[in-house]
Amino acid sequence: MALIRRGMPCALCRAPLLEGQPIFATSGVWLPPEDPLHRYCDAAMHWSCYAAWPQRPRFARVHVEAWVKGDDQDIWSAAVHLDDVVFVTRSLQSNRISVLLFETGTGHVVTVENWEAWLGGGVADAYAGLHPLLDAALAEARARLSRALPTVAAIEAAVSPRKRALVAEEWERGLRQQAEMKRYDDALDVMAEAAAREGLACPQCRVVRNDYKLSHKNREKRYLQCRRCGHRFGPDGPVLR
């Protein structure tokens, strides 16, 4: 959301945004600078001003279209429904389902556990009651989704196998990286112990020493450092910084 301060001017009518007034706000910029609607990105306005704004249908539609494009690039999110009213994504790293409405440009987060209750109206939407236009758009989206994605199982079935495979690959890559870091750290500890106990020839200056400095830096590759020549090395060879 754009940074909203009470009393700041509405992007449309310039009157202050007051306590208790429903406010529509977006964050991020999804229009090129030459677009006349560019200056309304990342801005806040009265919901009543937004609803009556002649540019609102286009502004809302391109906002959701930007989400659709962005989602395709995001491996942790899967598009599970798209029609002319509503776009739905399922997060692949949390229990969030996002519902985006073309009519209003609003995004509504529903948890997987609440999906069926939300569809049936048993769980109120966080933005319900802000404006009749929004309530009508939500009702239309729920009606469409009750047919298209009536259950959590239907949502899971709609996640593309390509996205699932990308996520599985990414998990495996992470696990391999962790395993590789552990192997390196263990080998470095063994090397440091042996050097302290028996002495070790520095690979650069060739002097045998037992007082190597062992780095403890987090998030950086750890190493032994020769106190004579400054050379840094580990079990796999020189460590460059």
Residues of this chain that bind Zn ion (CB under 5 A): 10, 12-13, 46, 49, 202, 204-205, 226, 228-229, 231
Distance in Å, CB of 131 to Zn ion, minimum = 12
Q: Which is nearer to Zn ion, 15 or 175 (CB)?
A: 15
Q: Which is nearer to Zn ion, 181 or 229 (CB)?
A: 229
Q: Which is nearer to Zn ion, 50 or 115 (CB)?
A: 50
Judge contact between 60 and 103, C-beta under 8 A: yes
Q: Which among 45, 38, 34, 94 has a CA at the least distance from the CA of 66?
A: 38
> What does each C-alpha distance from 56 to 24, 37, 52 come to in angstroms?
11, 10, 7
Residue 127, number of CB atoms within 10 A of its CB:
18
Distance in Å, CB of 133 to Zn ion, minimum = 15
Q: Which is nearer to Zn ion, 9 or 129 (CB)?
A: 9
- DSSP H helical ranges for the chain: 47-52, 56-73, 115-120, 132-148, 152-158, 161-198
CA atoms within 13 A on the CB side of 176: 6
- CA–CA separation, 217 and 43 (whole Å): 42
- DSSP H helical ranges for 14-151: 47-52, 56-73, 115-120, 132-148
Q: Which is nearer to Zn ion, 25 or 66 (CB)?
A: 25
Distance in Å, CB of 60 to Zn ion, minimum = 16
Q: Which is nearer to Zn ion, 67 or 127 (CB)?
A: 127
Distance in Å, CB of 219 to Zn ion, minimum = 25
Distance in Å, CB of 227 to Zn ion, minimum = 8
- CA–CA separation, 12 and 208 (whole Å): 75
Distance in Å, CB of 130 to Zn ion, minimum = 14
